[in-house]
């Protein structure tokens, strides 16, 4: 398993289950981390740097990039092609973009603003009272809980929702 950190013209490669954590520790705002197939340990703490994390895929039976759980609190974080087998927590994030990911559980315990989830599979979505200006686009959602307030308005575009819970 490898994590490649691109910082400007410089490339660094990290190996093993801690490769993602090691690459993120060395990353700066604007850097990109590319992950190979495999199961990577989550970062220690929250993703607070403006980075792009790209895996090789999230939907296959084999060869996925897997991260159990991840906390995102940064501005302009982009995540693509990753399978989250635990919880993706978006608390405090601004302009979060999650594309072509498998998310077992999406949650938040504080506000997150302008989040876009595009072409994702969501097994369970919680924490909607904290979502401000969210968009789910071209997603499959198994269990959607919309315990929302009128000030936390968002868009759900071209999605399939199998089960909806309203509080």
Give the burial string for 17-56 (b: 16+ CB within 10 Å, else e). ebbbbbbbeebeeebbbbbbebebebbeebbbbbbbbbbb
Question: What is the per-residue pLDDT for 164?
Answer: 80
Question: What is the per-residue pLDDT for 5?
Answer: 98
β-pair partners for 80: 54, 99
Query: How does pLDDT run across 32-87, given as a tens digit for each residue?
Result: 999 999 999 998 889 999 999 999 999 888 889 999 999 999 999 999 999 999 99
Question: What is the per-residue pLDDT for 12?
Answer: 98
Query: How does pLDDT run across 137-167, given as a tens digit for each residue?
Result: 999 999 987 665 556 678 899 999 998 876 5
Query: How does pLDDT run across 82-115, given as a tens digit for each residue?
Result: 999 999 999 999 999 999 999 999 998 888 999 9
**Average pLDDT of span 117-136:** 90
Q: Contact 115/90 with Cβ under 8 angstroms? A: yes
Question: What is the per-residue pLDDT for 153?
Answer: 73
Residue 79's CB is within 10 A of a number of other CB atoms, namely 26
Is the model more confident about 150 or about 13? 13
The C-alpha angle with vertex 114 and arms to 109 and 106, in degrees rounded to 5, equals 40
Question: What is the per-residue pLDDT for 97?
Answer: 98
| Six-digit token string for 167 | 């509080």
**Average pLDDT of span 107-134:** 90
């Amino acid at each position: 398993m490898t994590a490649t950190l691109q910082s400007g013209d410089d490339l660094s490669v990290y190996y093993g289950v801690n490769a993602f954590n090691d690459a993120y520790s060395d990353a700066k705002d604007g850097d990109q981390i590319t992950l190979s197939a495999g199961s990577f340990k989550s970062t220690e703490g929250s993703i607070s740097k403006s980075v792009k994390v790209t895996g090789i895929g999230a939907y296959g039976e084999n060869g996925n990039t897997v991260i159990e759980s991840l906390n995102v609190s940064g501005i302009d974080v982009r995540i693509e092609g990753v399978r989250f087998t635990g919880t993706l927590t978006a608390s405090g994030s601004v302009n979060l973009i999650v594309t072509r990911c498998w998310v077992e559980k999406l949650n938040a315990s504080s506000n997150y603003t302008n989040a876009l989830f595009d072409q994702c599979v969501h097994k369970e979505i919680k924490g909607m009272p904290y979502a401000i200006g969210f968009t789910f686009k071209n997603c499959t959602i198994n269990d959607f809980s919309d315990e929302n307030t009128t000030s936390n308005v968002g868009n759900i575009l071209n999605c399939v929702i199998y089960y909806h819970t309203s509080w």
